[in-house]
Amino acid sequence: MSAVSFGSRLRTSVSSRGSLCVGIDPHPALLAQWGLSDDVAGLERFTLTVVEALADRVAVIKPQAAFFERFGSAGVAVLERALVGIRDGGALSIVDAKRGDIGSTMAAYADAFAGEGSPLAGDAVTVSPFLGFGSLRPLLDLAAANGRGVFVLALTSNPEGGQVQHARRPDGKTVAQTMIDAVAAENAGASPTGSVGVVVGATVTGVGREHDLSVINGPILAPGIGAQGATPEDLRAVFGPALDQVLPNSSREVLGAGPTVAGLREAAARSVEAVENALRA
């Protein structure tokens, strides 16, 4: 894909376009809000409008794979078109697929989401490490070889996540910190930043007291800005010394401004400004 690492390309994109990542989450309620049908035609209209509006002006766009997969092969084809459009517009893409498995199955996921020539391969993909960080090895290796990134779930904002993520090993370290430390090891020595990141919800409280994110030398994807309750001003309290690594994600806050291209662009511009003011204050 690229001789330049994902981490380097992300740093370049953020420096020119700001730190905002915008999700594409075409769930039924948003399709209805836009006056669109809950079918492949509505999905396509929604998705391509977002890509047209934002791919040439925000740093990162994150399509949520599930909302495309629910329509079968026709929906996946829309996701593939979206990834082409995002790339053509100059933004980076994160396919929010949260895949996680072992052995040959994980290798197959790696081919799908990080393989050279795969229509489902964006610039990066989200993964679940809770079969053990080592289970991600096929994807981590292929992504690195092809200049792509990987975002590893670490601290999610859903209440159920704490059952696993906050559990402690015999040495007292949480499962989440175990994953954070493993990401740090992947990124060791990378410059200007590593290509393996973590996902930490912007709505998660007490991150800095329990977990050290400053070690990762990589990006922190932070969903939850807007409709999920977090504000840009919350980022400093949540992420503290790791603030310069944060890539805040906003979905419904921006998408709700559709269905016009102009409305989406205005909402994204406001979000970019608010995020930059919070991160750089």
Q: Supply the residues annotated as catalytic.
A: 98
The encoded tokens of residue 12 equal 């370049």
- d(CA 197, CA 109) in angstroms, rounded, equals 18
The alpha carbon dihedral of 190, 156, 54, 246 has a sign of: negative
Contact 258, 230 (CB under 8 A): no
Query: What is the rounded CA–CA span in Å between residue 209 and residue 207?
Result: 6
DSSP the chain: --SS-HHHHHHHHHHHH-S-EEEE---HHHHHHTT--SSHHHHHHHHHHHHHHHTTTSSEEEEBHHHHHTTHHHHHHHHHHHHHHHHHHT-EEEEEEEE---HHHHHHHHHHHHSTT-TT--SEEEE--TT-GGGGHHHHHHHHHTT-EEEEEEE-SSGGGHHHHT-B-TTS-BHHHHHHHHHHHHHTT-SS--SEEEEE-TT--SHHHH---TTS-S-EEEEEESTTSB-TTHHHHHHGGGGGGEEEEESHHHHTT-SSHHHHHHHHHHHHHHHHHHHH-
Q: How far apart, in whole angstroms, are the C-alpha atoms of residue 51 and residue 26?
A: 12
